Structure 1
Amino acid sequence: MTATEQRIEPGSVAFVTGASQGLGEAIGRRLAQDGWHVILSARNKDKLDSVVQTITDDGGSAEAVVLDVSDPEAIAAIIAEAGARHGRIDGLVNNAGRFSGRGILDTSLEEFRRNFVMNLEAPFLTMKAALPFMIERGGGAIVNIGSVSGLRASENTGGYGASKAGLFHLGAIVSMEVGQHDIRVNTVTPGSTWSPTFARSVEGKTAEEVAAMEKTGTALGRFGQPSEIGDAVAFLLSDEGRFITGANIPVDGGAYWSRGGNRLIGKRNER
Structure 2
Amino acid sequence: MSTSVNQAASVPLKLSLPSRTAVQATAERIGKYGMSHVLPPAIVLAVLLAVWEALCSVPGATLPAPSKVVADTWELIVNPFYDYGGNDVGMGWQILASLERVAYGYLLAVVAGIGLGVLVGQSTWAMRGLDPIFQVLRTVPPLAWLPLSLAAFQDSYPSAIFVIFITAIWPIIINTAVGVRNIPEDYRNVSRVLRLNGVEHFVKITLPAAAPYIFSGLRIGVGLSWLAIVAAEMLIGGVGIGFFIWDAWNASMISDIVLALIYVGIVGFILDRIVAALGKWVTRGTTTA
Query: Structure 1 length normalisation: TM-score?
Result: 0.25
Relative to total residues, which structure has the larger helix share, 1 or 2? 2
Relative to total residues, which structure has the larger strand share, 1 or 2? 1
* Bigger Rg, structure 1 or 2: 2
Query: Structure 2 length normalisation: TM-score?
Result: 0.24
